[in-house]
Amino acid sequence: MDEREEQREIEKKEKKSDPSKVGVAFIKYAAYLIIFFGILWFLINYILPMF
């Protein structure tokens, strides 16, 4: 393997702005937010009025 091929492999591994990865991260954090606000809504509507 010559030096150019090694450099190409390193560049492929370092590339982090892949659109599919960005989409997966967005969906993951959007799901976290939906779950968080769902739990918050449950607490406000059902648990807090008990006190």
pLDDT, residue 12, reads 62
pLDDT, residue 11, reads 61
Per-residue pLDDT of 1-51, as tens digits, reads 567 776 666 666 655 567 888 999 999 999 999 999 999 999 999 998 887
* Model-wide pTM > 0.95: no
pLDDT, residue 44, reads 95
Return the structure tokens found at 46: 């059902």
Task: Give CA–CA dist 27/22, Å, rounded.
Answer: 9
Looking at this protein, which amino acid is placed at residue 26?
F
pLDDT, residue 51, reads 79
